[in-house]
Amino acid sequence: LALAMAALLPAAGARRSQDLHCGACRALVDELEWEIAQVDPRKTIQMGSFRINPDGSQSVVEVPYARSEAHLTELLERVCEKMKEYGEKVDPSTHRKSYVRVISHDGTKMDLSGVKIDGDVASSLKFACESIAEEYEDELIEFLSHEADNVKDRLCSKRTDLCDHALHIPHDEL
C-alpha cells in the first residue's frame, strides 16, 4: 500500500502544478484582456523613429494605446497582483482545480459556492502568473497586440502547453 501511495503522489503533485499553471495562464489572459478593454479606444501613442529623415519628415505613426507594446509591457509588470482576487474551485467529478475570480470587476455579487479563498492559493497563483508572464512575455505581447479570438486557448494550450489537458474547458467571461 505504501508503495502504491508513493507512486501516486508525484502524479497528484504534477497534476496540481499543471492545474495551477494552466489556471494562472488563463487568469492572466483574462485580466490582460479586461485591462485592454478599459482603455479608451481613441487613445493613441506615437511609435517609430523620432529622427528626421533627409526629406525633413519623421517616421512616426500613431497606434492605438490599448494594444501597444508599451501598454502591454506596463500591464505585464502589475497584472499578477490581481491574482489575490481569485479563489480555487475543485471539479467534484475530475478533482481538477480551476481558478475563478472572487471579486467582480463591476461589483456584482458572485456565486462563490465551492470556492476556496485563502492566502496560499492567491500567493501560489501569483507566483505562477509572474513566472508565466516573464517566460512568455513575447508571446503574450504578440497575441494581445492584435485583436485575436480565443487567446486563452491559443496561448495557454497550443503555444505553451500549459493547458494541454484542458482544451475542453469552457470559455469563461469576466
Task: Decide if 146 is inside a domain.
Answer: yes
Task: Name the grid cell of 104.
Answer: 467582480
pLDDT in tens, 79-130: 999 999 999 999 889 888 999 999 888 888 888 888 988 889 999 999 999 9
Domain count across the chain: 1
The four Cα atoms 75, 80, 81, 82 give a dihedral, to 10 degrees, of 90
- Which residues share a beta bridge with 58? 52
Task: Name the grid cell of 73.
Answer: 509591457
Whether the CB-CB separation of 16 and 23 falls below 8 Å is answered with: no
- Owning domain of residue 24: 14-39+65-157
Task: Decide if 105 is inside a domain.
Answer: yes
pLDDT tens sequence for the chain (174 residues) = 544 444 444 444 556 688 999 999 999 999 999 999 999 989 988 877 667 778 877 777 788 899 999 999 999 999 999 999 999 999 889 888 999 999 888 888 888 888 988 889 999 999 999 999 999 999 999 889 887 778 888 889 888 888 876 444 444 443
Half-sphere exposure of 117 (CA within 13 A, CB side): 11
Task: Decide if 118 is inside a domain.
Answer: yes
Task: Decide if 171 is inside a domain.
Answer: no
- pTM score, two decimals? 0.79
Q: With 0-12 CB in 10 A as exposed, 13-18 as middle and 19+ as buried, what is 66? A: buried
Task: Decide if 111 is inside a domain.
Answer: yes
Task: Decide if 166 is inside a domain.
Answer: no
First to last CA, the chain: 44
CB atoms inside a 10 Å sphere around CB 36: 18
Task: Decide if 56 is inside a domain.
Answer: no
Task: Decide if 109 is inside a domain.
Answer: yes
Half-sphere exposure of 42 (CA within 13 A, CB side): 0
